[in-house]
Amino acid sequence: MTAEATNMPAKARPSLYAIDPRTKRRNAAEKRFRLYGVAAVGFGLLALVVLLSSVLGSGLGAFRQSVLTMQVPLDAAVLDKEGTRDPAAIAKVTTIAYGKLLQDALTAELTEKALLPAGMKPKDVGGMISKEAPAQLRNLVLANPDLIGTTVSFDALANGRIDGFFKGRVTMESAKLDSNVSPEQLELAQAMRDAGLLALKFNPGFIFAPDASELRPEAAGLGVAILGSAYMMLIVLVLSLPIGVAASIYLEEFAPKNRFTDLIEVNIANLAAVPSIVFGILGLAAFINFGGLPQSSSVVGGLVLTLMTLPRIIIPARAALKSVPPSIKDAALGVGASKTQTIFHHVLPLAMPGILTGAIIGLAQALGETAPLLLIGMVAFVRDYPAAPPEGFFDPASAIPVQIYSWTQRADPAFTERASGAIIVLLVFLLVMNSLAVVLRRKFERRW
Amino acid sequence: MNDMRLTERAVETKDIKIAAHDVQVYYGASHAIKDVHIDILDKTVTAFIGPSGCGKSTFLRCLNRMNDTIDICRVEGEILLDGEDIYDKKVDPVQLRARVGMVFQKPNPFPKSIYDNVAYGPKIHGLVKNKAELDAVVESSLRKAALWNEVKDRLDAPGTGLSGGQQQRLCIARAVATSPEVLLMDEPCSALDPIATAQVEELIDELRENFSVVIVTHSMQQAARVSQRTAFFHLGNLVEYGETGQIFTNPKDPRTESYITGRIG
């Protein structure tokens, strides 16, 4: 080659300070790409903020409830006519009598404080008290018959409309059109609040009380649903973790690689993608119709959710087992450990963080699952707490997501607040479970 | 290959520890090891050399049946350890591996403490009755691996926190803790720096007193330095096997000569 060919034609070398058009384009492309990323993350965060603020905004009210504080004389002449304090005799007195007591007590209180507007009927005064309050008072007396004859200070739930007035749900205008509440009652409620007779208090009933009927949104709580969800999670954990881990260890470490195991593998992957409602139909057919297990019970719910969770545990567990470096297995086999010893002493401990994370996320998904539970009858209205396990597994129960669903179906706007409150509770549970997954992963994570 | 020590090398024993006859290894359809006959002597360091892919590691892994873990691998022929066929149906590879220990190319300590790394083998084989005996085994193994003085104050520290050379010596300690009769080493120094390599080589020479050591190495200098007998593998065949001095100074096969002079490989 000649010298002219090897040397580039004499062209002025550009300065390093001047950025050439190619580099400019590349830099612009990079900048654009970063911008897309920031925009995507920003959009995600915005959606999260909107979701949380909407849920918190409408749901936090459920944790506070309007309560009327009054002195209730528990008249022995009404509650225990014979004066025997015989529980059977006391139990004969119905909530109607207790309602009358509460109404009289409130009227007396208002008269004493000179708050009672002229012309308001005692019935309207009583209407401000929740229909659930007499039952609560009755339960208090039945649990403690010695109270009869004394005067107790009783916190009665206010009617849902009164409660809604203080939470901004009910206005004077809407009250005019509402047969359940009148503007006069609302004015009285405002006066009572100013006088300290009515207050918004923390509402433990929302967490612990059972569901209440359509007409008593103020008394509805998540107690049965939380208990049902807890029972189901227990069943899912106890069944799906050992079965899932055993299956993944077998498939990953022992099973021969042939058509049959390939088929199983494909099936597991497909099962994870099967819509959950299909599992509900399966549960209905297999466990209730064929197996004869009781409807609406947490045992059936737990079994259905177990079936649904299994593939979701097996897939990450297998990935975790696969990610253990083969050199560790070689090392264990090299010193004469058997295959089982190798797996249980070395592989499993190293895969544990991944397995636990997968299991907890699978459980969290099961906790939020609604559709299969609707099919096995857990959407029923359940007011009785299920008994302690194991018998309680067969009692009718509800579940948090199903409770949310059924509350959103109800007409009274007060249930919107309840549903949002229940979503908050569900989110808190999910948050706790996911943080647990992170903590466990950190704790067991080992480097090599 | 003008290592001074070559001339001092003499095989002190004629006891055959491992005798391999007519060994064939297949990976699926490919024939990886062909007709290998070799007698490995007791209390001797035997080096396997050869170009990459010649089958020396494969053959090494046959000696303690580590190839069993590979589904498509098939071994034919017989390999006798003290006259007993290790591929006999009655043999449990787990028992075999307690007698034929192995050290791998990359240091692979368990992600556990130094103590637990060494104690693992004796524990699972039930070689010790109590903690005091176990302590003694751990100490003597670490001493044999020339690691005791460096780690005796931090036996609870994780084995993975040691330097590369220390980790490899820890793996050797782990292998000798089960008191094997044969120690297989698959390129034990390839991941180590020269200083650590020198330490491990020195150690291999000391281990010869108690064990039969088989070492696969890519470094001919290393083979010359540490071994008494050398086997040269090429394309799955055992080309030549003899005293190290003879292999390096006076090879009989032209292929061996080509390899050690750097013309093939």
Q: H helices within B110-219, ranges in order?
A: 114-124, 131-144, 148-151, 164-176, 194-207
Query: Taking CB atoms and an 8 Å limit, are A334 and B102 in contact across chains?
Result: yes
Residue A82: predicted pLDDT:
77
% of chain A residues with pLDDT over 90: 38
User: Is B190 in the A-facing interface, judged by CB distances under 8 Å?
Assistant: no
Residue A6: predicted pLDDT:
54
User: Is residue B137 a part of any domain in this protein?
Assistant: no
Residue A95: predicted pLDDT:
86
**Structural tokens at position B128:** 């010790």
pLDDT higher than threshold 80 for residue B3? no
Closest CA of chain B from A337, distance in Å? 6
Residue with tokens 């699926």: B28
Residue A385: predicted pLDDT:
87
Q: Are B185 and B216 in contact (CB under 8 A)?
A: yes
Could you tell me which residues come within 8 angstroms of residue A392 by beta carbon, excluding any fewer than 6 positions away?
Answer: A227, A231, A298, A386
Query: Does pTM top 0.95 for this prediction?
Result: no
Of A336, A350, A447, the CB nearest to B97: A336
Q: Write the pLDDT tens digit of every residue in B51-100.
A: 888 888 889 999 989 888 887 888 888 899 988 899 888 888 888 888 89
Orientation of helix A133-143 relative to helix A95-112, angle to 10°: 110
Q: Are A128 and A101 in contact (CB under 8 A)?
A: no
> DSSP 3-state assignment of B56?
helix
User: Is residue B51 a part of any domain in this protein?
Assistant: yes
User: Is residue B145 a part of any domain in this protein?
Assistant: no
**Structural tokens at position B76:** 């034919």
% of chain B residues with pLDDT over 70: 94
pLDDT higher than threshold 80 for residue B264? no
Within the 227-266 window of chain A, which residues sit less than 8 Å (CB to CB) from chain B? 256-257
State the ipTM, two decimals: 0.85
Q: Where are the domains of chain A?
A: 63-203, 223-444
User: Is A119 in the B-facing interface, judged by CB distances under 8 Å?
Assistant: no
Choose the mutation target among B66, B71, B92, B102 for the interface with A, i.e. most A CBs under 10 Å. B102
The domain containing residue B224 runs over which residues? 15-107+183-260
Residue A448: predicted pLDDT:
46
Q: How confident is the model at residue A342 (pLDDT cuts 50, 70, 90)?
A: very high
Query: Taking CB atoms and an 8 Å limit, are A334 and B111 in contact across chains?
Result: no
The CATH number that applies at residue B97 is 3.40.50.300
Closest CA of chain B from A319, distance in Å? 19
How many domains, chain B? 1
Cα separation, A351 vs B259, in Å, equals 44
Task: Give the burial class of A256: count Cβ atoms within 10 A of its Cβ; 0-12 exposed, 13-18 middle, 19 or more buried.
Answer: exposed
User: Is residue B129 a part of any domain in this protein?
Assistant: no
Cα separation, B77 vs B96, in Å, equals 17
Query: Taking CB atoms and an 8 Å limit, are A328 and B110 in contact across chains?
Result: yes
Cα separation, A384 vs A378, in Å, equals 13
Respond yes or no on whether the N-terminal peptide bond of residue A217 is cis (omega within 30° of 0).
no
Query: Taking CB atoms and an 8 Å limit, are B174 and A335 in contact across chains?
Result: yes
**Structural tokens at position B32:** 């990886």
Of B101, B106, B160, the CB nearest to A335: B101
Q: Write the pLDDT tens digit of every residue in B4-20.
A: 454 455 556 678 889 99
Cα separation, A386 vs A302, in Å, equals 14
Query: Taking CB atoms and an 8 Å limit, are A446 and B98 in contact across chains?
Result: no
Cα separation, A101 vs B84, in Å, equals 97
Query: Taking CB atoms and an 8 Å limit, are A333 and B66 in contact across chains?
Result: yes
Q: Write the pLDDT tens digit of every residue in A6-44.
A: 555 666 788 888 888 899 999 999 999 999 999 999 999
Residue A61: predicted pLDDT:
87
Residue B265: predicted pLDDT:
55
User: Is B71 in the A-facing interface, judged by CB distances under 8 Å?
Assistant: yes
Of B96, B104, B121, the CB nearest to A330: B104
**Chain A, nearest residue to B160 by Cα:** A448
% of chain B residues with pLDDT over 90: 30
Q: Are B101 and A335 in contact (CB under 8 A)?
A: yes
Of A332, A336, A350, the CB nearest to B125: A336
Q: Write the pLDDT tens digit of every residue in A232-260.
A: 999 999 999 999 999 999 999 888 888 99
A223-444 CATH pick, 3.90.380.10, 1.10.10.60, 3.30.420.40, 1.10.3720.10: 1.10.3720.10
Q: Which residues of A touch B160 (CB under 8 A)?
A: 447-448
Residue A402: predicted pLDDT:
93
User: Is residue B119 a part of any domain in this protein?
Assistant: no
Q: How confident is the model at residue A1 (pLDDT cuts 50, 70, 90)?
A: very low
Cα separation, B108 vs B170, in Å, equals 9
**Structural tokens at position A118:** 């002229």
Residue B2: predicted pLDDT:
43
Residue B5: predicted pLDDT:
52
User: Is residue B169 a part of any domain in this protein?
Assistant: no
Taking residues A355-370, report their average pLDDT: 91
Q: Which residues of B touch A256 (CB under 8 A)?
A: 71
User: Is residue B39 a part of any domain in this protein?
Assistant: yes
Query: In chain B, where do the E strands start and end?
Result: 16-27, 30-41, 45-49, 73-81, 84-85, 100-103, 182-186, 212-216, 229-234, 237-243
Q: Are B201 and B226 in contact (CB under 8 A)?
A: yes
Residue with tokens 């460096």: B150
Q: Write the pLDDT tens digit of every residue in A301-321.
A: 999 999 999 999 999 999 999
Taking residues A340-344, report their average pLDDT: 92
pLDDT higher than threshold 90 for residue A444? no
pLDDT higher than threshold 60 for residue A3? no
Taking residues B172-199, report their average pLDDT: 88
User: Is residue B73 a part of any domain in this protein?
Assistant: yes
Q: Write the pLDDT tens digit of every residue in A264-294.
A: 999 999 998 899 899 999 999 999 999 888 8
Query: Taking CB atoms and an 8 Å limit, are A336 and B94 in contact across chains?
Result: yes
Mean pLDDT of chain A: 88
Q: Write the pLDDT tens digit of every residue in B209-250.
A: 888 999 999 888 899 999 999 999 988 899 999 999 899 888
Q: Write the pLDDT tens digit of every residue in B101-142.
A: 999 988 999 998 999 999 999 998 888 888 999 999 999 999
Residue B13: predicted pLDDT:
65
**Structural tokens at position B51:** 């170009």
Cα separation, B215 vs B248, in Å, equals 16
CA distances from B149 to A367, B119, B143 (A): 55, 17, 8
